[in-house]
Amino acid sequence: MSRYAAAHVDPQGPGDARPTALQIVQDEDFKGKLTGKVAVVTGVSSGLGIETVRALAATGATLYLTARNLDKAKAALADIFDSRTMTLVQMDQASLESVRIAAQTILSKTTQISLLVANAGVMANPDLRLTDKGHEMQFATNHLSHFLFFNLLKSALLAGSSSAFQSRVVMLSSAGHRVGGINSSDNYHYQNGGYNPWAAYAQSKTANVYMANEIERRYGSQGLHAYSLNPGIAATGIIGQLSSEEIMGMLQDKAMLKAQKGLDQGAATTIYAAISKDLEGRGGSVSE
C-alpha cells in the first residue's frame, strides 16, 4: 500500500489518517466498475465483514455473502443490504457439510466468480474444542472450511477471470501467525495434547498464508491470484473468547491502542487486495 505508507508511520488510533475501505474504492476508481462481476465473502454478520460488504457494494459487484446466523447477518447488513445484488447464504464453517451445501447453493446461481474473500474466523478458543469430525475448531473454521470452499468454487473462479480483471482470492491472515507454525501432521488437531489457544490460532493463520501462496503457485498463470494479509488491530467480535485479563492488558497497552483501527479502516487492506490495480495480474502477501 505504498500510497498509504506515510499514514501508517505514526498511527493515532481509529479514525486517523489511515484509509478506509470505501476510500480504497474511491482512490482505485472502482466505484461501479465491477458491475456484472460476482464476489463471495464469508463471515458477514459482524466486524470487518460488514465493512468489506459495504465497500464491495460500491463497486457494483453481485455479492454472495455467507454467515452462520442469517438473522444476525440480516440485522448487521440492514443499512446496506440490497436484494437485487446481494444474496445471503447460510454456512457454518465448523461443519464441512455446511460448506459444501453453501458452495452448491452459490454455484446453482452463478458459474463465474471473480472474487472470493475468506473473512470469517475465530480466535484463541480458551480450551480445546473439536468439530463433529474431530477437527480443532480454529483450524477448521479459519483454514479447512476456506480450503474446501475454495476448491468447490475453483472452477467458477477460473471461469470468472478476464483480461480486464483477473480473479482473486483474499485470505485474511494475521500477524498472529508469527506465534507458531503448522503442527506435525499427526497433531493438527492436538491429538497428542499440548493445546495452546494462541498457538492454535497461529497454526490456522499460517495455513491461510500457505494456502494463498499455493493458489498463486498453481493457478496464477491461469489468471487466478491469491493474497494473504494482516488487517491490523480492530475491535471486532473475534476477541469474544479472550479473558477479561487479556482484554484489560490490551486496553492498558498505549502502543496497541494507537495502532488500533476503526472497522472501516480494518477492512481497507482486504479491499486493497481485492481490487488494487497495482496487484492486477500478480499474487502474494499484502501487509497491513
C-beta neighbour count of 124 within 10 angstroms: 20
pLDDT exceeds cutoff 80 at 133: yes
Q: What is the mean pLDDT of residues 233-249?
A: 59
Q: What is the mean pLDDT of residues 227-245?
A: 69
Residue 65 lies in a domain: yes
Domain CATH code at residue 47: 3.40.50.720
Most confidently modeled of 119-123, 155-159, 197-201?
155-159
pLDDT confidence band for 70 (50 / 70 / 90) = very high
Instruction: Provide the domain limits for residue 232.
Output: 2-279
CB 227 within 8 A of CB 171: yes
Our count of domains for the chain comes to 1
Residue 228 lies in a domain: yes
* Mean pLDDT of the chain, nearest integer: 90
pLDDT exceeds cutoff 60 at 37: yes
Alpha carbons 135 and 43: distance in angstroms, whole number: 19
Residue 194 lies in a domain: yes
Between 33 and 175, residue with greater pLDDT: 33
Residue 243 lies in a domain: yes
What per-residue confidence (pLDDT) applies to 235?
Answer: 66
Alpha carbons 4 and 282: distance in angstroms, whole number: 20
C-beta neighbour count of 211 within 10 angstroms: 20
How many residues are listed for the chain in this entry? 288
Residue 260 lies in a domain: yes
Q: What is the mean pLDDT of residues 112-139?
A: 95
pLDDT exceeds cutoff 90 at 233: no
Catalytic residues: 173, 201, 205
Between 250 and 165, residue with greater pLDDT: 165
What per-residue confidence (pLDDT) applies to 177?
Answer: 64
Residue 128 lies in a domain: yes
Residue 245 lies in a domain: yes
Residue 93 lies in a domain: yes
pLDDT confidence band for 232 (50 / 70 / 90) = confident
**Sign of the alpha-carbon torsion through 204, 208, 210, 211:** positive
